[in-house]
Amino acid sequence: MSKYDIIVLGSGPGGYVTAIRASQLGFKTAIVEKESLGGVCLNWGCIPTKALLKSAEVFEYLKHADKYGLSVKDADKDFTAVVKRSRDVAGGMSKGVQFLLKKNKIDVIEGFGKLKPGKKVDVDGKEYSADHIIIATGARSRELPSLKQDGKKVIGYREAMVLKEQPKKMIVVGSGAIGVEFAYFYNAMGTDVTIVEFLPNVVPVEDEEVSKQLEKSFKKSGIKIMTSSEVTKVDTSGKGVVATVKTAKGEEALEADILLSAVGIKSNIENIGLEDVGIAVGRDKILVNNYYQTNIPGYYAIGDVVEGQALAHVASAEGILCVEKIAGQNVEPLDYGNIPGCTYATPEISSVGLTEKQAKEKGYDIKVGKFPFSASGKASASGATEGFVKVIFDAKYGEWLGCHMIGAGVTDMIAEAVLGRKLETTGHEVLKAVHPHPTMSEAVMEAVAAAYGEVIHL
């Protein structure tokens, strides 16, 4: 039996980052993976979807080249080539993870890992032991009873990335990040897209003004949106799919070639030996403390299998914190109130902290500032004037309570707010920090200035 200091179960952005940090700290480390190194994020999530979205963005540039004084005739897409590029990007990233693991002298154990009592892992009949075992098995597309996925007409995100033919009509159920990103991609490629959302607003976790702006932008692009609506039944007996949608006005039948179910994720915690070891589970999540220790000594869990935002950067941060605590370092629990969220449709969305509604519900006396990109010189020059930056401050102490952005490139801008909040920056400090001109990022400063009644360019 091979013996390690740390074995990590799963090689997604939680698992492989955890393994590398463990190796850096001097632990003899192994990682178990049943499929492709990099997990869902690198192979079937974050990375390949961004490649698809970039192709859609470039295609839209070509279609509207005349807005930039350019002439492009007969611009068209090769859907198969677009999908292939996405898969090639994912493959390259997976090889990159393989290189990093080899560089850091981490043993890769291929196969399905199952936990055993006594700090052991069985991988397809062969046992390995470790002083510490970290579960990072991630999640998959969640299925609703009324939306059973057959992988052909009713699909999840994995199938949506590798369709052999572009559908003429698509229904997207759910308007979280996955739903709206695929809705944008397929609409930009020329598919007739309808989004069905159960809640009153699309991207329901975002600030309401951001939700309304995205709905406005999507409708302008030709995407149909049905909010406060529920798919109650799906008929796949015909050539395509017919979805029965319950709305405030009654039932409506929607026809399409394919229905994409994007109604959330399900933790991968079945058949991995949790019951054999006695590891406590609640509401589809492994129960852990602030340092990701389970109720059984020597077993830990991070990422999508534990409570918290199901995001790649969260899983990575949790894994690093977990192994640093094992190594005896003085670490602080992760601040889940300061985690940025990003959606990569066009326009992009990014946010951190409290929404305006949440801040009011918590009893804060707030200052709110908003700066539209239509007033930004860089945005005007770029032809990307949709959207805005919105900031929320505590009026009493100047604490930066929340930041919400929608527009071109805002996923690359949100880190300023995350860092500012981490360093307990006040509104006046942001206002007096000189921002470069002309940039999209100066909209953050302008929004803060608007909150304090000092805005110049609006």
Question: CA 277 to CA 117: how far, in whole Å?
Answer: 5
Distances (CA, A) of 350 to 210, 214, 228, 369: 9, 12, 23, 16
According to DSSP, the β-strands at 2-9 and 126-135 are parallel
Is there a binding annotation on residue 50? Answer: yes
Is there a binding annotation on residue 177? Answer: yes
Given a contact cutoff of 8 angstroms between Cβ atoms, the answer to whether 340 and 350 are in contact is yes
Rounded to an integer, what is the distance from CA 12 to the centroid of its chain?
14
Is there a binding annotation on residue 175? Answer: yes
Is there a binding annotation on residue 174? Answer: yes
Strand partners, 256: 241
Of the listed 64, 313, 404, 437, which one is catalytic? Answer: 437
Pull the structure tokens for residue 77: 């897409």
Is there a binding annotation on residue 180? Answer: yes
In degrees and rounded to multiples of 5, residue 216 shows phi and psi of -60, -45
Given a contact cutoff of 8 angstroms between Cβ atoms, the answer to whether 370 and 395 are in contact is no
Pull the structure tokens for residue 335: 């601040």
According to DSSP, the β-strands at 348-353 and 400-407 are antiparallel
- String of b and e for 382-391 (b: at least 16 CB within 10 Å)? eebbbbbbbb
Given a contact cutoff of 8 angstroms between Cβ atoms, the answer to whether 341 and 352 are in contact is yes
Strand partners, 265: 141
Is there a binding annotation on residue 5? Answer: no
**Helix runs in 311-414, H state only:** 312-326, 356-361, 377-382
Is there a binding annotation on residue 176? Answer: yes
Is there a binding annotation on residue 96? Answer: no
Is there a binding annotation on residue 113? Answer: yes
Given a contact cutoff of 8 angstroms between Cβ atoms, the answer to whether 231 and 268 are in contact is no
Instruction: Decide if 313 is catalytic.
Output: no
Pull the structure tokens for residue 297: 């000594």
Best CA proximity match to 120, nearest among 252, 269, 2, 18: 2
Please spell the DSSP secondary structure of 238-279, one letter per residue.
SSSEEEEEEETTEEEEEEESEEEE-S-EEE--TTSSHHHHT-
Question: CA 208 to CA 132: how far, in whole Å?
Answer: 44
Which residues contact residue 58 at a Cβ distance below 8 angstroms, ignoring those fewer than 6 apart?
Answer: none
> Taking phi first (over 0 means left), then psi (-120 to 50 degrees means alpha), and beta for anything else, what does residue 172 get?
beta
Is there a binding annotation on residue 181? Answer: yes
Is there a binding annotation on residue 197? Answer: yes
Secondary structure (3-state) at 412: helix
Annotated binding site for FAD: 50, 113, 304
The binding site consists of 50, 113, 174-181, 197, 264, 304
Q: Which residues are catalytic?
A: 437
User: What residues are designated binding site for NAD(+)?
Assistant: 174-181, 197, 264
